[in-house]
Amino acid sequence: MSYTLILRTFEETSGTARREVEKRYRNALDSALGSASLVAPTYRVYLQIVGVYGEAPDMEALSSAEREVFDQWQAAEAAAMTAAFGPHRYMDEARFEIGV
């Protein structure tokens, strides 16, 4: 299952630079989750969890499977942001839109 990825940022970025950042993010996300085919289904489940329990859920309220997906997505997303921007960049300056 494929997904789309778009970098949204407030600063102007050339097409080449944007594609390179998106590529680094995508590669890290795919790697952290095991393969590109796992990104869309994992993201869908993550969004369902967030829809039910909120952005910062009480982990005790989640089932073990929900907790595993929630933690896995958050770790993958953090790794992808670091790969895309480096460890010292402010994360709120840009974000990625994932389409499934």
Residue 6 lies in a domain: no
Domain containing 57 equals 38-88
Residue 66 lies in a domain: yes
Split into its structural domains, the chain has a count of 1
pLDDT digits (tens, 9 = 90+) for 56-75: 999 999 999 999 999 999 99
Residue 44 lies in a domain: yes
Please state, as a whole number, how many other Cβ atoms lie within 10 Å of the Cβ of residue 55. 6
Say if pTM beats, i.e. exceeds, 0.75: yes
Residue 14 lies in a domain: no
With a CB cutoff of 8 Å and minimum separation 6, the contacts of 7 are 13, 18, 21, 22, 25, 94, 95, 96
Residue 47 lies in a domain: yes
pLDDT digits (tens, 9 = 90+) for 14-70: 788 889 999 999 999 999 999 999 999 999 999 999 999 999 999 999 999 999 999
Position 92 scores a pLDDT of 56
Helix axes 64-85, 39-53, angle to 10 degrees: 120
Residue 7 lies in a domain: no
